Amino acid sequence: MPVFKHCPGIRSLVSPKIIVRTCPNCGEEVEFFEYETEQTCPSCGRVLHREATESCVAYCRYAEKCIEDLENRGLITHERAEELRRIMRKARSSKQNI
């Protein structure tokens, strides 16, 4: 049985929301996954930015086990697991430098 069956943050890791912004340059819709902060407009090539939102991997003490569990169960790809681990390490190193 998965260890993190009732984790409130798991939904955004497995099925992240899509956030739509309008390119200020050409008016084209640009899609971001909720964990992305930068995206390139498919129409004109302008790089758009949006505010970063904290993911549970940035503060949860079980983040590494959770990522491993999701990857082992095939709910996220190896590449997504590595991306989440990078976010986790960056957040933890930032907290240590405060």
Could you tell me the pTM of the whole model? Answer: 0.57
Amino acid letter, residue 6: H
- Is residue 22 helix, strand or coil? strand
Q: Which helix (H) or strand (E) holds 39?
A: strand 38-40
Q: What is the pLDDT of residues 21-79, one digit of tens each?
A: 999 999 999 999 887 778 999 999 999 987 656 678 888 888 899 889 989 999 888 98
Residues 28 and 46 in one domain: yes
In a domain, 84, yes or no: yes
Residues 75 and 86 in one domain: yes
Q: Which two tokens stand for residue 94?
A: 């930032």
In a domain, 96, yes or no: yes
- How far separated are the first and last CA of the chain, in Å rounded? 38
In a domain, 47, yes or no: yes
Residues 47 and 76 in one domain: no
Residues 31 and 41 in one domain: yes
Q: Can you give the pLDDT at residue 29?
A: 96
The parent domain of residue 49 ranges over 16-53
In a domain, 77, yes or no: yes
Domain count, the chain: 2
Residues 64 and 85 in one domain: yes
